[in-house]
Amino acid sequence: MADGPAGFGHVPVLLERCVALLTPALTRHHPDGSGAILVDATVGAGGHAERFLANLPGLRLIGLDRDPLALDITRTRLTRFADRVTLLRTRYDRIATALTETGCGATGSVDGVLFDLGVSSMQLDRLERGFSYAHDAPLDMRMDPDSPLTAADIVNNYDEAELADVLHRYGEERFARRIAAHIVRRRAVTPLTRTGELVDLLYQAIPAPARRTGGHPAKRTFQALRIAVNDELESLCRALPVALDALTVDGRVVVLAYQSLEDRIVKDVFRNAVASRTPAGLPVELPGHAPEFKSLTRGAERADRAETQRNPRSAGVRLRALQRVQPPQQARRHD
């Protein structure tokens, strides 16, 4: 996730493509977006949101984020649109509750949903948050500063097998067991409390030949800890079906994912959404079994060279988008 022009962070990733994909759904009722609702499920510093609100003076936007600092920045940034914006501090897997609280229904009530996943540029640049392995900071990594679990809690309290599982599952780290063993030995002497301490340990744990390829040796471990601290993948698994249910017919969803684990989840959910539920082998589509969605992208779209040069944080992005073409056959239960 990357946000905004100078003063608010970095330029939003694939902004023009997001606008092109979502605008047809947002202008179905009126060219200025009147009568349409866009849910920015990861509003961050408001870069994408600002463009949609400026382009469509009738659009209503509901922005969600778990980070209070992000919401403060967005509130300031979007002041001139305040009468059309509702900002809520919540995780994106609570979209249904957020819609209910804002007077919308949990099913078939919005015209567009945007997810810009991962850690934001603003969070990476706030060194005290501990997301970056390039600078020494507290081992925190919480997107919501009020969440109880920190990266320090994981590295100092999980047993060796649990640590290895986190690093392998969420970081796809092939040296997960070796790293976990080093962490356990180190913390028996003194707890790990700083990102710099963890980076030094990783240089010791990962063999020298492996450190010379595949990017920074701390990248996968830091990704794994961040995902575990913030429950990112499980939240995404819960959020996507709810977001699809929230769309009205002809409504659209766009998801920007930045690493393979996220994109795998999006790909699987979207594949199921566009599949027919008619049993294989039948010559005709059964009534009520047609696909509820169609894909708007062929596979995952990537940023072009010009964008990656302008904004290096867009290099890993994968964009997928769907459009609802049939009403939901059966509403899911939303907790």
pLDDT surpassing 80 at residue 288:
no
Residue 171 lies in a domain: yes
In this structure, the answer to whether residues 237 and 106 fall within a common structural domain is yes
Residue 85 lies in a domain: yes
Residues 245 and 108 in one domain: yes
- Asked whether residue 20 falls in the same domain as residue 115, the answer is yes
As beta bridge partners, residue 65 has 89
> Looking at the structure, do residues 239 and 113 belong to the same domain, yes or no?
yes
Which amino acid makes up residue 188? A
Q: Do strands 37-40 and 60-65 pair parallel, antiparallel, or not at all (unpaired)? A: parallel
- Higher pLDDT: 214 or 179? It is 179
| Same domain as 156, residue 135 | yes
E strand spans, the chain: 37-40, 60-65, 85-89, 110-116, 247-257, 293-295, 318-324
CATH of the domain at 175: 1.10.150.170
To the question of whether residue 329 is assigned a binding role by annotation, the answer is no
Domain of residue 303, CATH code: 3.40.50.150
Instruction: Tell which of 230, 259, 292 closes a domain.
Output: 230
Residue ending a domain, among 198, 230, 262, is 230
**Which pLDDT score is estimated for 2?**
45
Token pair listed for 117: 């996943």
Residue 123 known to bind ligand:
yes
Q: Is residue 332 part of a domain?
A: no
- Is the domain of 251 the same as that of 110? yes
Same-domain check for residues 238 and 289: yes
10 in any annotated domain: no
CA gap 107, 248 in Å, rounded = 8
Distances (CA, A) of 25 to 31, 267, 322: 10, 21, 11
| Tens digit of each residue's pLDDT (9 = 90 or more) over 20-74 | 999 999 999 999 999 999 999 999 989 999 999 999 999 999 999 999 988 999 9
Are 86 and 215 in the same domain?
A: no
Tell me whether residue 46 is annotated as binding. yes
Give the domain range for residue 99: 15-122+232-324
Ranked by mean pLDDT, the top range of 4-13, 73-82, 212-221 is 73-82
Say whether both 143 and 189 belong to one domain.
yes
Same domain, 277 and 138: no
pLDDT tens, residue by residue, 140-162: 999 999 999 999 999 999 999 99
Q: Average pLDDT of the chain?
A: 90
Q: Answer yes or no: do 48 and 27 share one domain.
A: yes
Tell me if 144 is assigned to a ligand binding site: no
Known binder of ligand: residue 40? Answer: no
Residue 21, in any domain of the structure: yes
**Beta carbons of 121 and 129 less than 8 angstroms apart:** no
Residue 312 and residue 256 in one domain: yes
Name which of 232, 300, 289 is nearest 263 in CA terms. Answer: 300
Q: With respect to residue 80, please indicate whether it lies within any of the assigned structural domains.
A: yes
pLDDT band at 124 (very low <50, low <70, confident <90, very high): low
Give residue 333's pLDDT: 43
Residue 314 lies in a domain: yes
Is residue 200 annotated as involved in ligand binding? no
Total domains in the chain come to 2
Taking the C-alpha atoms of 126, 132, 136 and 139 in order, what is their torsion angle to the nearest 10 degrees?
90
193 CB-side CA count, 13 A: 3
263 is in an annotated binding site: no
Contact 210, 262 (CB under 8 A): no
Residue 3 counted as domain residue: no
Domain stops at, among 178, 207, 230 = 230
Q: Determine the Cα–Cα distance for residues 26 and 84; give it in Å rounded to an integer.
A: 14
Cα–Cα distance between 98 and 86 in angstroms, integer? 10
* Residue closest to 18 by CA, chosen among 324, 323, 321: 321
Average pLDDT over residues 82-110: 95
Rounded average pLDDT over 125-151: 85
Number of Cβ atoms within 10 Å of the Cβ of 290: 13
Whether 154 and 166 have beta carbons less than 8 Å apart is answered as yes
